[in-house]
Amino acid sequence: MQVTFKIWRQNGPKDKGKFESYPVDDLTDDMSFLEALDHLNERLVVAGKQVIAFEYDCREGICGQCGIFINGRAHGPHDHMTTCQLHMRSFKDGDTIVVEPWRAASFPIIKDLVVDRSAFDRIIEKGAYISSQTGTAPEANAILIPKSVADKAMDAAACIGCGACVATCKNSSAALFTAAKINHLNRLPQGKAEQHTRVKEMTWQMNLEGFGSCTFTGACEVECPEGISISNIAELNARLLKSKISGS
């Protein structure tokens, strides 16, 4: 299989950047997309050229590190899939594949396809944890939680923080990410004690980081590899209103 990768090259945040084309052969259908980029990088090393910088960790759809735009879609052509789970059989022999980094002012480009997503870390630092002293691990069933509540909390907890929601949103909004992190904890009894401060602090940080406002286009839900529902954002808005009224 032979394809041409048209890849965004950028030396750093201040560099203007440009697309460069790389024809690559000897690819197979069962190679993952990242393995195809590895293959290209091996060729570049042999040719004494700079390798293409891209991020990954688990290569199993868990860590959220591997986000890139492929042919204009976050994580490539399939719904609810990370880049590392994408295989070359999704493309045709002779295809040109356009590869770009996440595009958002709050995610500045570090190099090539690698962006700085530390804005997400700073939102999490503001409240995506429980600070109460719990002592040793309690008996698992000491706090009874209805299955429907546990399921909804786990649905929100599925967010892997990849940033596809921001990159695909025309406003670069981080509302889906922030809502998922808040709702995960606020839906559970353990998260109730700090629910109001969590909502206020995390949304405040989200705005401080320069993410845009949510206008409910729904693009984030479509491109989210975990299929996190935008109903989380509606719930976040209701929680934010309640937290302001509560005065705590």
| Rounded Cα–Cα distance for residues 164 and 160 (Å) | 10
| Rounded Cα–Cα distance for residues 188 and 151 (Å) | 10
The pair of three-digit structure tokens given for residue 136, joined into one six-digit string: 């040793």
Nearest CA to 112 out of 57, 60, 69 is that of 69
101 is an interface residue for ligand FES by CB under 6 A: no
- Relative to beta strand 69-70, strand 73-74 is antiparallel
84 is an interface residue for ligand FES by CB under 6 A: yes
Question: Cβ closer to ligand FES: 180 or 214?
Answer: 180
Q: Are 224 and 167 in contact (CB under 8 A)?
A: no
79 is an interface residue for ligand FES by CB under 6 A: no
| Rounded Cα–Cα distance for residues 66 and 85 (Å) | 10
Map tokens 């994408």 to a residue: 86
Strand partners, 18: 9
Task: Name every residue whose Cβ is closer than 8 Å to that of residue 58 and which is 6 or more positions away in sequence.
Answer: 65, 84
The pair of three-digit structure tokens given for residue 189, joined into one six-digit string: 């009894």
Question: Cβ closer to ligand FES: 164 or 202?
Answer: 164
115 is an interface residue for ligand FES by CB under 6 A: no
Question: Cβ closer to ligand FES: 82 or 172?
Answer: 82
Determine the interface stretch with ligand FES among 52-60, 100-108, 151-159, 196-204 (rule: CB under 6 A). Answer: 52-60
63 is an interface residue for ligand FES by CB under 6 A: yes
Question: Cβ closer to ligand FES: 56 or 102?
Answer: 56
CA distance from start to end of the chain: 61
**Nearest approach, Cβ of 164 to ligand FES (angstroms)?**
11
Task: Name every residue whose Cβ is closer than 8 Å to that of residue 54 and which is 6 or more positions away in sequence.
Answer: 34, 37, 66, 68, 112, 113, 114
Of 62, 149, 150, 208, the residue at the interface with ligand FES (CB under 6 A) is: 62
Determine the interface stretch with ligand FES among 80-88, 100-108, 145-153, 228-236 (rule: CB under 6 A). Answer: 80-88
Of 44, 45, 58, 105, the residue at the interface with ligand FES (CB under 6 A) is: 58
Size of the site for ligand FES (CB under 6 A): 13
Query: Residue 139: CA atoms inside 13 Å, Cβ hemisphere, count?
Result: 4
Of 40, 69, 74, 82, the residue at the interface with ligand FES (CB under 6 A) is: 82
Q: Which residues of 211-225 are buried (b: 16+ CB within 10 A; e: fewer)?
A: bbebeeeebbbbbbb
Determine the interface stretch with ligand FES among 63-71, 140-148, 180-188, 208-216 (rule: CB under 6 A). Answer: 63-71
Of 64, 76, 101, 191, the residue at the interface with ligand FES (CB under 6 A) is: 64
127 is an interface residue for ligand FES by CB under 6 A: no
Of 15, 25, 26, 57, the residue at the interface with ligand FES (CB under 6 A) is: 57
Residues that bind ligand FES (CB under 6 A): 56-59, 61-66, 82-84
